[in-house]
């Protein structure tokens, strides 16, 4: 296996450090628009393992031809997309043209319905990629979409629940929450998102999607509906000391992937944004600062959203000033043996641990862990396939085993399962 990873930001840097401890690949090329940043990631990987076969390269992720040329130059068998979703299609198409398999952690962008955005979907997340499934199948290549933590591990949990824990599933409800706090040098709590503010704005202000089997009537595409941003708030009790967090509907890839491979009555995604984040996002929208189209500012063309992202701290840099934990998981409700059942399958990342062991803050480390595991499963042949697929299209057992097994055999990051009262599954017992 020869991996070309495009992106040496927080997640890419963390993925390289994680991969440096494994030996399932022959070469791992780190490519970024900034060669200096790619070289810094390679140096960090080699600090962990002196003989790690890492190389640095420069690439413009928006240039499909450049992606193809770089993949061919290094004879890449797998192109791993570790940049934000604006660049998905260039990398996705570039990988196929190079004859390589492809992985990403976020799917091609959506476009809201022009007349009824809070009722009907327009172009959905991943539509552009899923439409190319036949082309990938004919080429004998695999595009594995959404293999971060959410989407990614949450989708693996959904597959595990369907295969082993439930006879019938009423709802797959992804719940994401944290008690992370970032402080400045003086110890004062400050606003600093744990991942790309550009992506936060995109997924939180777009109409969230829900899937319902009753609406689908046998046609998966007919089951998708949209809601207003921040709809249906609820307080969910997260495990391992995080506690109750208010969660709201957010547009997310799980809802677009799970119904295609897992039988469930409903699929939803809710995220614990918090009052401060929701208020800030509303203000950004009212002021037009969420816009991506460039505007003229004293003769300089700039995107308002890019400016917002640029003035905030780099998510990769805030780890030493962050405390707390983040939790990703799926609340599954349904029946087993004729009786109602509710289970929360989850994975928690502690920022103190991820900073100490990988010099990476918890959110980016937790995201980076899962594509590396997926690459190992593909490299060893435990996962295989062609076409365009989500993580739930594959056997969950080897993934969860590798995730939890002690290092060096596995990745030493246990996941958890809580049985909950079917009558009140939002709260712990």
pLDDT score of 378: 98
Q: How far apart are CA 374 and CA 159, in angstroms?
A: 15
- Coil/strand/helix, residue 44: helix
58 to 70, 86, 96, 334: CA distances (angstroms): 9, 18, 20, 49
Handedness of CA 352, 358, 361, 363 (dihedral sign): negative
* 3-class state of residue 85 by DSSP: helix
Tell me how far apart the alpha carbons of residues 179 and 245 are, in angstroms, rounded to a whole number: 8
- On the question of pLDDT at 319 being above 80, the answer is no
* Average of per-residue pLDDT across 153-178: 98
Class of the CATH domain delimited by 2-103: alpha beta
Mean pLDDT value across residues 367-377: 98
220-233 per-position pLDDT tens digit = 999 999 999 999 99
Take residue 124 and report the two structure tokens written for it: 């959905």
Can you tell me the mean pLDDT for 132-149?
A: 98
The pLDDT assigned to 429 comes to: 67
116 versus 312: the higher-pLDDT residue is: 116
Q: Which of 265-269, 374-378, 424-428 shows the lowest mean pLDDT across its residues?
A: 424-428
Decide if pLDDT at 309 tops 90: no
Does residue 3 carry a pLDDT above 70? yes
Domain residue extents for the chain: 2-103, 153-362+415-420
pLDDT band at residue 311 using 50, 70 and 90 as cut-offs: confident
CA distance 331 to 351: 23
Question: ∠ at Cα 101 (98, 107), nearest 5°?
Answer: 105
- Range among 73-87, 196-210, 301-315 rated most confident: 73-87
* Whole-number percent of the chain with pLDDT over 90: 86
CA angle 414, 418, 420 (to 5 degrees): 170
pLDDT at 69: 98
Just give the CATH number of 153-362+415-420.
3.30.360.10
Residue 377's SS3 state is helix
pLDDT at residue 274, rounded to an integer: 79
Considering all CA atoms of the chain, what is the largest pairwise distance in Å, rounded to the nearest integer? 68
Average pLDDT over residues 120-132: 97
pLDDT score at 192: 75
What secondary structure does DSSP assign to 238-293, as a single string? ETTTTEEEEEEE---HHHHHHHHHS--SEEEEEE---HHHHHHHHHHHHHTTT--S
pLDDT at 315: 79
Q: What is the pLDDT of residue 185?
A: 82
Residues 6+ apart with CB under 8 A from 175: 236, 238, 247, 270, 272, 327, 329, 330, 331, 344
DSSP 3-state assignment of 34?
coil
Query: For position 163, what pLDDT does the model report?
Result: 98
Contact partners, residue 376, CB within 8 Å, separation at least 6: 22, 24, 402
Residue 313 has pLDDT above 90, yes or no: no
221-229, Cβ contacts within 8 angstroms, sequence gap of 24 or more:
223/259, 224/121, 224/124, 224/255, 224/256, 225/119, 225/120, 225/121, 226/112, 226/113, 226/117, 226/118, 226/119, 226/120, 226/121, 227/118, 228/118, 229/204, 229/205, 229/281
Average pLDDT over residues 99-110: 97
pLDDT greater than 80 at residue 195: no
Per the document, the length of the chain is 429
What tens digit of pLDDT does each residue of 235-288 get? 999 999 999 999 999 999 999 999 999 999 999 999 998 788 888 889 999 999
Average pLDDT over residues 142-163: 97
% of the chain beyond a pLDDT of 70: 100
What's the mean pLDDT in 342-354? Answer: 97
The sign one gets for the Cα dihedral 67, 82, 203, 308 is negative
């Amino acid at each position: 296996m020869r991996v070309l990873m495009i992106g040496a930001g927080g997640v890419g840097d963390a993925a390289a450090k994680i991969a440096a401890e494994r030996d399932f690949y022959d070469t791992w090329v780190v490519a970024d628009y900034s060669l200096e940043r790619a070289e810094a990631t390679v140096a960090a990987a080699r600090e962990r393992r002196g003989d790690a076969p890492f190389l640095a390269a420069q690439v413009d992720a928006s240039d499909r031809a450049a992606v193809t040329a770089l993949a061919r130059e290094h004879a890449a068998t797998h192109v791993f997309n570790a940049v934000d979703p604006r660049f998905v299609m260039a990398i996705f198409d570039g990988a196929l043209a190079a004859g390589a398999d492809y992985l990403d952690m976020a799917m091609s962008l959506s476009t809201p319905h022009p007349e009824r955005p809070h009722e009907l979907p327009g172009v959905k997340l991943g539509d552009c990629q899923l439409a190319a499934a036949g082309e990938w199948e004919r080429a004998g290549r695999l595009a594995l979409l959404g293999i971060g933590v959410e989407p990614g591990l949450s989708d693996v949990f959904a597959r595990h629940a369907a295969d082993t824990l439930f006879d019938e599933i009423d709802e797959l409800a992804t719940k994401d929450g944290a008690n992370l706090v970032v402080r400045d040098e003086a110890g004062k709590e400050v606003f600093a998102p744990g991942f790309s503010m550009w992506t936060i704005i995109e997924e939180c202000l777009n109409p969230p999607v829900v899937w319902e089997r009753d609406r689908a009537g046998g046609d998966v595409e007919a089951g998708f509906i949209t809601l207003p941003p921040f709809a249906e708030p609820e307080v969910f009790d997260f495990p391992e000391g995080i506690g109750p967090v208010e969660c709201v509907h957010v547009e997310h890839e799980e809802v677009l992937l799970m119904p295609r491979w897992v039988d469930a009555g409903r699929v939803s995604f809710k995220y614990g944004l918090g009052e401060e984040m929701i208020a800030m996002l509303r203000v950004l929208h009212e002021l037009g600062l969420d816009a991506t189209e460039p505007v003229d500012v004293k003769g300089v063309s700039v995107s308002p959203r890019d400016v917002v992202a640029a003035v905030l701290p780099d998510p990769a840099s805030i780890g030493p000033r962050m405390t707390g934990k983040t939790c990703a998981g799926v609340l599954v409700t349904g029946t087993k043996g004729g009786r109602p059942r509710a289970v929360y399958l989850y994975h928690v990342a502690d920022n103190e641990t991820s900073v100490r062991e990988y010099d990476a803050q918890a959110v980016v480390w937790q995201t980076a862990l899962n594509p590396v595991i997926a690459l190992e499963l593909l490299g060893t042949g435990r996962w295989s396939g062609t076409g365009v697929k989500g993580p739930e299209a594959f056997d969950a057992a080897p993934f969860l085993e590798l995730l939890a097994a002690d290092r060096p055999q596995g990745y030493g990051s246990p996941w958890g399962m809580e049985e909950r009262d079917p009558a009140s599954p939002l709260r712990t017992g």
